[in-house]
Amino acid sequence: MDSTAKLIELFKEFPGIGPRQAKRFVYFLLTRPNGYASELSKLIGEVKSHVVCCDTCFRFFARNGNPVTTCPVCRDEKRDGKTLMIVSHDVDFENIEKTGSYNGYYFILGGTVPILEKNPEKRIRQKDLLELIEKKVARGTLATEGLSEIIIALNYNPEGENTLTYLSQILRPLAEKHNIKISTLGRGLSTGTELEYSDSDTIKNALKNRQ
Amino acid sequence: MDSTAKLIELFKEFPGIGPRQAKRFVYFLLTRPNGYASELSKLIGEVKSHVVCCDTCFRFFARNGNPVTTCPVCRDEKRDGKTLMIVSHDVDFENIEKTGSYNGYYFILGGTVPILEKNPEKRIRQKDLLELIEKKVARGTLATEGLSEIIIALNYNPEGENTLTYLSQILRPLAEKHNIKISTLGRGLSTGTELEYSDSDTIKNALKNRQ
Amino acid sequence: MDSTAKLIELFKEFPGIGPRQAKRFVYFLLTRPNGYASELSKLIGEVKSHVVCCDTCFRFFARNGNPVTTCPVCRDEKRDGKTLMIVSHDVDFENIEKTGSYNGYYFILGGTVPILEKNPEKRIRQKDLLELIEKKVARGTLATEGLSEIIIALNYNPEGENTLTYLSQILRPLAEKHNIKISTLGRGLSTGTELEYSDSDTIKNALKNRQ
Amino acid sequence: MDSTAKLIELFKEFPGIGPRQAKRFVYFLLTRPNGYASELSKLIGEVKSHVVCCDTCFRFFARNGNPVTTCPVCRDEKRDGKTLMIVSHDVDFENIEKTGSYNGYYFILGGTVPILEKNPEKRIRQKDLLELIEKKVARGTLATEGLSEIIIALNYNPEGENTLTYLSQILRPLAEKHNIKISTLGRGLSTGTELEYSDSDTIKNALKNRQ
């Protein structure tokens, strides 16, 4: 297999990219000036070496040459240490952070628990999460401002709901022991929802949570 | 224009039906046994004569030969007289009723108020709504179980939001005078919502209304 | 089941109409003035009684009170008696007639032959087709201007191709005996075809039939 | 702007890729093992240096270390020197070659001529095309097997049609002088075409080119 065919194979692994678009990517690179391809090539290497996984919240962040292992959000002491939000992926973190309406800390699960999964602990960073909470609780006690709420912020779909149920169970002992509230994102009408096309769960939630 | 062409014109007025499908409807009728077409023809007439608009909530209901002018829901005295839910259309009523989680009364607005509309009162049954509330308030006082909450249940889109704002304004005087709470459906994640694809408003609402 | 529910059931049988749209149709009728519904009701009856199936080509046509049993196209003696075009449905006839580039006669098969169908003769008007061709051949001999070409004009998809193969076989004996050419619609690029997204068959046809 | 943001910008230039998917690509790279990213990075460089543009037909081909400047197809002397096929892009060449039903040579125009374009010669490799034809004609005369047909194989859409008209005009003098036939791909039904949804042009072509 020549390098063109190999490159097409690699592009085919990109999320959402089929064989036709993978080939188009190669032709696109061929028709661009050499500078574009070499810049792309260089940046791919750079990103892989400069971006690391935070040792606290496990999201990716650019180290930018510094020898740090903790991301700027986790290092930011002005954030509210009383809340911890659990999300599945980095993009969820980004999207929530963009709203500017949350000022606590985060934890990236790194996945979700599929329904009927036999080894849920292999799908998400369960051990790291429990350790982080223990650490926060310990620190909090000393500093008289301990963790008081864990927000589980997952997609409202079957796999997200299953992960929520699983997380609630494994977090309950710790939560009860240290008097931490476990909350989830509110349910109701989301932007664009039309009642005519809504399912019963959404309408029930919207009624129950009316304001 | 012959009857086929005229029938195609009528079918083209059906919601969501273009010229091609209107023509298909006619061919469909031609290929069906005569019984189907005559049954259809008969039922269209029947529905128009048996189904009337309720004089209280303004939804359509089948009178089934009875000389009533009020729908079964409005006549049902076991319902909770303290709440009134305002919806745009009959389908919204149906969808909410189907959830089984609301037991008060309804009012069908018959439309929504488009943004920048100069005569909102022509788009919705404003006068009828105010009269109904006045009547309920009067009756309530006597019966010592008056109206205490009006739920405005509209689509969460720009036109729905505009209608909500308008309704809130015109209902405020009555609500304040009679100590009636005005509420809206809860906002947050609806079934299927994925955080990666959510807009900031939905995430903000979900965070604010977390539970 | 009341008349509204029955009407919804009937609308659900309309081609391409699901339960939600069927219900919308009923609400649409309820909100229209009485005149609309009664006109619709009347026209459905009229169309069923005024429109009949041509005894020659088997397409639907409006008799408009005349006691004729043959459609205007089949009665038009200025058309070219040497060609007969076989199509599946009335809409195909309409679409071809609209182009103004065919001046012969038609025959409506009334269906297609699915792949692996065991009784193809039950899916299409095979017997009527053979009789019509025999009649045309006989008449043609007398008039010294007999049928010289049968154009099979079907969709270019698996079921259309299967029907084409089947028709070719059953027409071959007649065609050979009376020296009638059997042709099919040309293959190649159709409006909008882009080479990048074309399958091999289309490209092969386009190359073979280049002009 | 850090390297992650820069990489997202570069991915956003990929054909059909928006900001959201560009970001997903970066996260995808971050979660893959280092080997994947370095292989991708290496191959992008390799492809740009190993793949060159053929000096005869102007398509991209992998040189694989050889100092050749002409692609294998143009160097293949067993091909039919009497036909030259003009296509817009490399993918068209690939798609046609895949059918195995053409054995002549190719020329990649490198674009199409938009309607109302004032400088068509800047959109396509016009000069190179004319030079190639002159060369083939000269060689052919000597070898007594000269170019006898030029097939213009473009998309059947407005821009393709416009390019066809333009090319026909600029090729006519040469074609007439050297007795070369100019042909285009056949028109008619393409795979999947249904008569009910076909436009008049497609039906007219299919009727005219019936076989």
For C171-198, how does the pLDDT look when each residue is reduced to its tens digit (9 = 90+)? 999 999 999 999 999 999 999 999 999 9
Q: Chains with ≥3 Cβ pairs under 8 A against B?
A: A, C
pLDDT confidence of residue D64: 78
CB contact under 8 A, C44 and B40: yes
pLDDT in tens, C132-156: 999 998 876 554 468 999 999 999 9
Q: What's the CA gap between B23 and B34, in Å, rounded?
A: 18
Tell me the C-alpha distance between C185 and C189, whole Å. Answer: 12
CATH of domain C78-184: 3.40.1360.10
The SS3 of residue B198 is: coil
Mean pLDDT of D144-153: 87
More confident residue, D139 or C164: C164
Query: Which residue's structure tokens are 């859409």?
Result: D157
Query: Which of B88, B189, B204 is facing A99, going by the closest CB pair?
Result: B204
pLDDT at D145: 64
Touching A: which chains, 3+ CB pairs < 8 A?
Answer: B, D
Where along chain B do the CATH 3.40.1360.10 domains lie? 77-184
Which chain A positions have a beta carbon within 8 Å of D41's beta carbon? 41-42, 44-45
Q: Which residues of D touch A89 (CB under 8 A)?
A: 27
Residue of D112, D191, D211 for testing the chain C interface, max C β-carbons within 10 Å = D191
| Residue A151 β-bridge partners | A85, A183
C25 contacts in chain B (CB < 8 Å): 14-15
Q: Tokens representing A10?
A: 């690699």
Is A56:D39 a contact under the CB 8 Å cutoff?
A: no
Residues of B with CB below 8 A from C47's CB? 3-4, 7, 26, 29-30, 37
CA B187 to CA B199: how far, in whole Å?
13
List Cα–Cα distances, D202 to C60, C203, D187, D190, in angstroms.
Answer: 25, 16, 7, 9
The pLDDT score that the predictor gives to residue C34 is 87
Q: Which helix (H) or strand (E) holds B152?
A: strand B149-152
Cβ-defined contact of B186 to A153 (cutoff 8 Å): no
pLDDT reported for residue A145: 64
C191, C201, C204, best to mutate vs chain D, most D CBs in 10 Å: C191
Architecture of domain A77-184: 3-Layer(aba) Sandwich (3.40)
Yes or no: domain C3-49 corresponds to CATH 3.40.930.10? no
Mind telling me how many Å the CA of C139 is from chain B's nearest CA? 31
Residue contact B96–A195, C-beta within 8 A:
yes
At residue A66, the pLDDT reads: 85
- Render pLDDT for D62-111 as a digit per residue (tens, 0 to 9): 987 788 999 999 999 999 999 999 999 999 999 999 999 999 999 999 99
**Measured between CA atoms, how close is C102 to chain B, in angstroms?**
22
Please give the single-letter amino acid code of residue C42: K
What is the DSSP code (8-state) at residue A190? P
Q: Which residues of C are less than 8 Å from B26 in CB distance?
A: 47
Strand partners, A183: A151
Residue D72 in 3-state DSSP? helix
CB < 8 Å to A101, chain B: 203-204, 207-208
Q: Which of D26, D44, D91 sits opposite A7 (nearest CB)?
A: D44
Q: Tell whether the model's pLDDT for residue C64 goes beyond 90.
A: no
Q: How many CA atoms lie within 13 A of C21 on its CB side?
A: 12
Q: Tokens in use for C89?
A: 């449905």
CB within 8 Å: D202 and C211: no
Which residues in chain A touch residue D64, judged by CB atoms under 8 angstroms apart?
Answer: 2
pLDDT under 50: residue ranges of chain A? 143-144
Give me the helices (H) in chain C, please.
3-12, 19-31, 34-50, 72-75, 90-99, 126-143, 158-178, 200-208
Short-list D141, D146, D8, D134, CA closest to D82:
D146
Phi and psi at B61, nearest 5°, equal: -150, 155
Cβ contact (<8 Å) for A210 and B184? Answer: yes
pLDDT digits (tens, 9 = 90+) for C150-166: 999 999 999 999 999 99
Nearest CA in chain A to B207: A185
CB pairs under 8 A between B and C: 121
For residues A176 and B65, give the distance between their C-alpha atoms in angstroms, rounded to a whole number. Answer: 62
Nearest to B98 among A87, A102, A200 (CB): A200
In this prediction, what percent of chain D has a pLDDT beyond 90? Answer: 88
Quickly list H helices, chain D.
3-12, 19-31, 34-50, 72-75, 90-99, 126-143, 158-177, 200-208
**A189 near B187, Cβ under 8 Å?**
yes
- Give the closest of B185, B195, B207 to A188, CB-based: B185
CATH 1.10.8.420 domain span(s) along chain C: 3-49
Beta-carbon separation of A41 and D42 below 8 A: yes
Residues of A in contact with D50 (CB under 8 A): 2-4
Q: Per-residue pLDDT averaged across C85-91, rounded?
A: 97
8 Å CB contact of D206 and C186: yes
**pLDDT value at residue C63:** 87
Candidates B2, B4, B41; nearest CB to C41: B41
Cβ contact, residue pair B48, C27, below 8 Å: no
- C14 neighbourhood in chain B, CB within 8 Å: 25, 28
Mean pLDDT of chain D: 93
What Å distances lie between residue D59 and A77, C111, D62, D103, D153, CA to CA? Answer: 58, 47, 10, 16, 15
Partners of C108 in the β-ladder: C87
pTM comes to 0.83
Interchain contact, C27 vs B2, CB within 8 Å: no
Low-confidence ranges of chain B (pLDDT < 50): 143-144
* Amino acid, single-letter form, for residue B11: F
Show contacts of B197-204: CB within 8 Å, 24+ apart: B198/A95, B198/A190, B198/A191, B199/A191, B200/A98, B200/A99, B201/A191, B202/A190, B202/A191, B203/A95, B203/A96, B203/A99, B203/A101, B203/A185, B204/A99, B204/A101
Residue A138 pLDDT: 84
CA distance A45 to chain B (A): 26
Beta bridge partners of D184: D152
* Residue from A153, A14, A146 nearest A91 by CA: A153
The fold of B3-47 is Helicase, Ruva Protein; domain 3 (1.10.8)
Q: What per-residue confidence (pLDDT) applies to D140?
A: 63
Mean pLDDT to the nearest integer, D122-149: 85
Mind telling me how many Å the CA of D69 is from chain A's nearest CA? 16
C vs D, Cβ pairs < 8 A, gives 180
